[in-house]
Homo-oligomer: A and B are copies of this chain.
């Protein structure tokens, strides 16, 4: 496969590059402004494929969409990425006053976050290209995802984190055997150092916003929702946004389904950010006002650590792709995010990390202000497991009472 890949298109200057001609960003435009987008021969795809083609592969993973990926499944590592469950949540839908509510549970991934999608395809690309090692800068889900898939591939993995990264966050990385550099500097310095080291040592860089393959993995979440809903796509789709690569991927996925003729209608996609880390939301506001989108950089502080990003590395792509669906970006408070963690767990049985539950908080906002009308059909992407950061589940909750081991004490506690 990879046979339908035409090449790379710079979202900044519209230059075209052949398949695999450039690893990362447009050499002319540089990072963020020169994010590269993989383009496929959609006309040929629509001639050769039908909506049922994917099911015929019988693959319970994102590799069922091999035709719309740049790399053959032959290069995939063993860990199962994608084909996560889609749940309906009629109770929550009723309470929110929407016509239907679906939850795409991407917590059910080998390293417990949606980052495994981008990683799976990127690691397959590294194997195809014969790269000797993998690397990325991150303190969170992308790092543990890369470490896990690199371990499964038997490829060395180098992770750059700022020195402030908490020890607990390093547990997965260390277990997977990644070489971890704690950089005595800011996250920006760690990110820049990862770039330099990849240049020098030939390591393949998975960092969000840098590697265009990551978005190709991310888009498969949209394909899966489409297939699980038998082509009857929702009206709205919400997902949290930090660097912007996940929301851009999901929007791209829906748009590609239209390009190959498998749907007439694309859900309106909203990226959900924390009020304290809203660089893309602000960039989107500038975009709507006809002002320059870049540079996008703000202070970042939120309980939702996976989207606590001050300088989003895929801001331009996120803004452009989301705009193409007719959607936008909204912000929610940390209080709303914590409430959403609890609501999602209690009402739907899905325990998400704060960033994973943020779309539910976003839906409340959009339903309240009428953007999502009564009866609107809504899909939420739940991007990371609550086990990644259990604080969200405990925040503001009273300790359970201690009772003596007697039935009368149970009766009393029950009131």
Contact = CB atoms under 8 A, between A and B. Distances in A.
B193 A386 contact: no
A117 interface: no
Top 7 nearest A-B pairs by Cβ distance? A152-B349, A175-B393, A171-B390, A177-B346, A180-B400, A387-B387, A175-B345
Nearest to A80: B85
Contacts of A168: 390
Contacts of A300: none
A181 B413 contact: yes
A22 interface: no
A349 B176 contact: yes
Interface of A: 60, 77-80, 83, 85, 87-89, 91, 105, 108-112, 148-154, 163, 167-168, 170-172, 174-177, 179-185, 189-190, 192-193, 196-197, 200, 341-342, 345-351, 385-388, 390-394, 397, 399-407, 410, 413-414
A350 B172 contact: no
A193 B80 contact: no
B83 A78 contact: no
A369 B350 CA distance: 44
A85 B78 CA distance: 9
Contact of A196 (B105, B175, B385, B407): B407
Contacts of A179: 400, 414
A171 B394 contact: yes
A181 B182 CA distance: 42
A135 to B, nearest CB: 10
Given A181-B413, A349-B151, A174 B400 contact: yes
B154 A351 contact: no
A111 B171 CA distance: 19
B189 A151 contact: no
5 contacts: A78-B88, A79-B87, A170-B394, A172-B390, A182-B401
A401 B111 CA distance: 24
A386 B80 contact: no
Contact of A175 (B77, B87, B172, B341): B341
Contact of A407 (B174, B185, B197): B197
A56 to B, nearest CB: 13
